[in-house]
Amino acid sequence: MAINSDAYNPPFLEHYEGKQVSQEDDLYPEGGLRAWLVAAGAACILFATLGWANSFGVFFPFYLNHQLSAESPDSIAWIGSVQVTLSFATGVVGGPLFDRYGTLVLRPATAAYIFAVMVTSLCEKYWQFMLAQGVLTGIAMGFLLSPSMAAVSQHFHRRRGAAMGIAIAGSSIGSVVFPIMLSKLLNETNIGFGWSVRIAGFIMLPVLGFSVLTIKTRLEPRKTQFFLPEAFKSRLYLALIAATFFLFIGTFIPLFYISTYAISRGMNNTLAGYLVAILNGAGVPGRIIPGIMGDKLGRLNALCAAGVATAVLIFCWPTAVSDAAIIVFSVAIGFTSGAIISGASVAITLCASNPKDVGTWLGQALAIASLAALGGGPANGALVKAYDSFDQVSYLSGSACMFGAALVLAAKACTPEGLFGRV
């Protein structure tokens, strides 16, 4: 199916007008033991990968007061930013590899990821943390994330929002387990940094082993070119990439800085460490409920609503000054930002006209959008250092997130249903 830059009509749009479902829809099981095991396996991968990456909010203040006390906040933020960026950016290779070789790519990636986590436990200097936790961990994540999400999309079409939401909710569960565990081990025991990280690695090992056994491909491998540059001829695809880029700026900043912000407002270190878990715990329903609603009311509609809500909350962030207010903010922002992460992935996968190309389309898009995480964290760290305040952080991140929501509306204008369609 050729892609026309002026009028691109992917198969999923037909569902929203009550028309006859396209022939491609018959290819999807939409459920069954195997399909749901794939979703469960993907959830386990996201538990161990993004769940770990989203725990950087616990590492940030710990590094600032211990191993990396001589470094500036923006320098430390680069570690988390590089990790998150590479976890999505390397999908530009991981996605096409999945389309061509299936789940074989998960085996070496799992071994590399566990190795990177264990090496992180041995780090003492800044360049060591950057290399192990930032670069190596991020690259290994990328070869796990895109293939796992692409595998889920091969088994679901009409229920893709719900299935992807359940899979991505695994990251929220991991983002609850790891921050609570790390906060307890780092702040309330004498076990030390090294064994705290190694314990996390041992938890990841059987979880990822389950994923390797359960995630299966359903379609024959794609034999065409490795990258698919023709995808960038689609205005819908380009608009969604741009929207995801700006939405990611607002999504990841609270994850990085919520604990540091709370400590600056007088909250004790242990409770502040739990905020990352609270935020991500709220992301479990935030990933699932909007996904189900998106299947009914429109995937782009749900993504736009999540973007607007997240932007409004970020603008209100500096007004949360008491412990109770900060906790309430963490719950609210966790729910809305969770809908962005799952909603953007679902929207991008639906652009591909051939289900065999989903891994490549998703990997290419997330590789570009992930650059937001690379610059967003350090830029906001520099603002905190320059102004000794989080007001400017809320202005920058909130504005970026609101602009991302506006770009989702622009993406809707590229569909046959237009701005007011149930898309």
User: pLDDT class for 402, splitting at 50, 70, 90?
Assistant: very high
Give the global pTM.
0.75
Question: What range defines the domain where residue 369 resides?
Answer: 30-220+227-413
- Report the distance separating Cα 49 and Cα 8, nearest Å: 34
- The pLDDT tens digits of the residues spanning 329-360 come to 999 998 888 888 778 888 887 787 777 777 78
Q: What is the structure's pLDDT at 28?
A: 67
Would you say residue 12 lies in a domain?
Answer: no
Q: Is residue 413 pLDDT above 60, yes or no?
A: yes
Q: What is the structure's pLDDT at 134?
A: 92
Q: Number of C-alpha atoms within 13 angstroms, CB side, residue 165?
A: 28
- CATH code of the domain covering residue 202: 1.20.1250.20
What are the C-alpha distances in Å from 87 to residues 15, 91, 295, 316, 400?
32, 7, 27, 29, 21
**% of the chain beyond a pLDDT of 70:** 91
Only one residue has tokens 């989080």, namely 390
Phi and psi at residue 266, in whole multiples of 5°?
100, 5
Would you say residue 10 lies in a domain?
Answer: no
Would you say residue 9 lies in a domain?
Answer: no
Q: What is the domain count for the chain?
A: 1
- The pLDDT tens digits of the residues spanning 2-24 come to 334 333 344 443 333 333 334 44
Would you say residue 172 lies in a domain?
Answer: yes
Would you say residue 19 lies in a domain?
Answer: no
Q: Is residue 299 pLDDT above 60, yes or no?
A: yes
- Report the distance separating Cα 150 and Cα 357, nearest Å: 9
Q: Which of 122-131, 161-170, 186-195, 213-222 has the highest mean pLDDT?
A: 122-131
**Mean pLDDT over residues 200-227, rounded?**
86
Would you say residue 98 lies in a domain?
Answer: yes
Category of 227 on φ-ψ map: left (φ > 0), alpha (ψ -120 to 50) or beta: beta
Question: Which range among 11-25, 221-235, 274-288 shows the weakest confidence by mean pLDDT?
Answer: 11-25
Contacts of 296 (CB under 8 A, 6+ apart): none
Q: What is the mean pLDDT of the chain?
A: 82
Would you say residue 102 lies in a domain?
Answer: yes
Would you say residue 212 lies in a domain?
Answer: yes
